[in-house]
Amino acid sequence: MKKPFRERLKEGVIVCDGAMGTLLELYEYGEKPPEIHNIKNPDIIERAHREYIQAGAEIIETNTFSGNRMRLEAYRLDDQTREINEAAVQIARKAAEDKVYVAGAVGPSGRLLQPLGKTKLSDVKAAFKEQIGYLLKGGVDLLILETFLDLNELDAAIDAAKELSKDIPIIAQKTFSEDGAILASDFPVEVVRHIKSKGVDVVGSNCTVGPQRMYGIIKSVYSEDVVLSAQPAAGIPTLVDGRSIYHATPEYLATYASQLVEAGVTVVGACCGSTPSHIRAIAEAVRRVKIEPKPLVVKRKTTVEEETPRPEPPERSEFAKKLGRKFVTTVELDIPRGLDISSVLEGARSCKENGIDAVNITDGARARIRMSSIAISHLIQKEVGIEAITHLTTRDRNMIGLQAELLGAHALGLRNILLITGDPAKIGDLPQAQSVFDIDSVGLVRIAKSMNGGLDSMGNPIGQATSFSIACAANPSAERFDYEIEKLARKVESGAEVIFTQPIYELKTFTKFMKAIEPLKVPVVIGILPLRGHKHAEFLHHEIPGISIPESIREKLFRAGPGGAEVGIATSAEVLREVRSAVAGAYLLPPFKKYEVAFRVLEMAGV
């Protein structure tokens, strides 16, 4: 009969099991999610548990990593959450036979949390609480909260568990990247201290990295007053026909398992790509280890700073410095298809000669294929010497790509960014292309703000902080006006420092907009798009989302006939003249490379 888990923990090393999904694929039961087999093929799950026990595992995890309601919803299995989790515990307890410990496995929600995503942390906590409740009711000996990247989400899982039971032992494991710079900082040990302060029994890391990198993580977080766990993956997989193939041998994992134990790990196992063969090798290896705990040297933050002083972030852009001190002007340049951007550079030079403060460079507007906004912005700043405001959408890149682009933009000297969600791919040049939209503009603003604080989207240090001037977009003519204002407030709360509006053609709507956003106390740069004539006005009004042109102006342009362009310029100048005292600047969008039109509007408006 096994001892209470906390008593056993004091006696030394405990071997945990390996991957369930990998083993099910080897059995040719690779249907997703693996948890479905708890009710479809319980004998197969029991077989997997027994193989790990026979290999030497003293802890087996229930087949419930993806067993929370939110993850199951993706497979339309959320209505079977209770059945899946309770069946998993029953199968594991049957296999354990009171000889080994049954750990209720709880993985992350699979959702991107607010403010980056749309899912509320309170909803995630409720999903964890529901799942953990089923696991506890089934009779697990402990909980393993594993593969959590977001520390806030791990906190929510711990809180949910503790609200349900004050006595259940908890192993809490955060996933770290294999970034050497992060491991060399104080960040990992600070994370471990935070998790320990939540009152868990064991703190550790699992998945994402192989055994060698896991050893580096453990060296970074070791502390004599923390019981550690480590479950590395079996290396980095190769994707073959949609299946992940891992290459690390049992002997290789066993070698590092011994080193992990020597470094202070008490609970050791393996994760993705591992099989009973890996666990058998690990169990045999750690039994031979003579444990003589020795504190590992962890550099204190003060020592690191003394050795390598952190450089101050670069100065803010000239455009950012001008905001609020003078009436700023920006002009959007027309980006042609292909490699020839001579007209763009010519337009930028013309803007500089006419005293424009910055030029706006769009990011594949209307989902059309154009050169990278970052590349063009860099070339303009380098060759022309006028600052660019670089647009970046969330349409074409996932969260990894977006952060890579922001870091690259900053390295190239770009400091002004306008962050938008972007138009869906289906309306553009390649309607069959997939839109990404991992996050929306609110999330991207939050990421940029986080980078200005020296952290990535998950709170990992990036070294030197960025110094972006973060702009966002707004539509004063939005049909869902209240929603537009609410979303704009979230953008500002997330870090937006200036608002660029869609083109405005009448004052009533704009006045209503300015009054609504007054509590935000953020400068506004008004969008001005001079109309070329009646057809242009009709097209924008009826076919372009976010632009509303009063009937009186469209009628005036119709009557003007061939002289419609002059009427359009005069109308824009009049709007700008009326609102100038209420805004921080003007964002001009002249048609078809006719940048002189923008200059005329400014002149007529007295700017």
What residue ranges do the domains of the chain occupy? 5-303, 326-530+584-594
CA 432/CA 416 separation, integer angstroms: 32
Q: What CATH code is assigned to 326-530+584-594?
A: 3.20.20.220
**CATH 3.20.20.330: does it fit domain 5-303?**
yes
Cα dist. 96→7, 10, 57, 59, 107 in Å? 18, 21, 10, 9, 21
Mean pLDDT of 519-534: 96
265 pairs with which residues across the strands?
A: 228
pLDDT tens, residue by residue, 451-497: 999 999 988 888 899 999 999 999 999 989 999 999 999 999 999 99
Q: Does residue 354 surpass a pLDDT of 80?
A: yes
Residue 328, φ and ψ in degrees, nearest 5:
-85, 150
pLDDT tens, residue by residue, 44-59: 999 999 999 999 999 9
Mean pLDDT of 503-518: 94
Q: Does residue 218 surpass a pLDDT of 50?
A: yes
Instruction: Print burial letters for 375-408: b (CB count within 10 Å at least 16), e (below 16).
Output: ebbbbbbeebebbbbbbbbbbbbebeebbebbee
Q: Does residue 308 surpass a pLDDT of 50?
A: no
Q: Does residue 8 surpass a pLDDT of 80?
A: yes
Strands (E), 426-521: 469-474, 498-503
Average pLDDT for the chain: 91
What element of type H or E holds 147? strand 142-148
pTM score of the predicted model: 0.79
Fold: same for 5-303 and 326-530+584-594? yes
pLDDT band at 225 (very low <50, low <70, confident <90, very high): confident
The strands making up 101-106's β-sheet, listed across from edge to edge, are 14-15, 265-268, 228-231, 202-206, 170-174, 142-148, 101-106, 59-61
**How does DSSP classify residue 27?**
T
Residue 210 is which amino acid? G
Tell me what pLDDT residue 176 has: 79
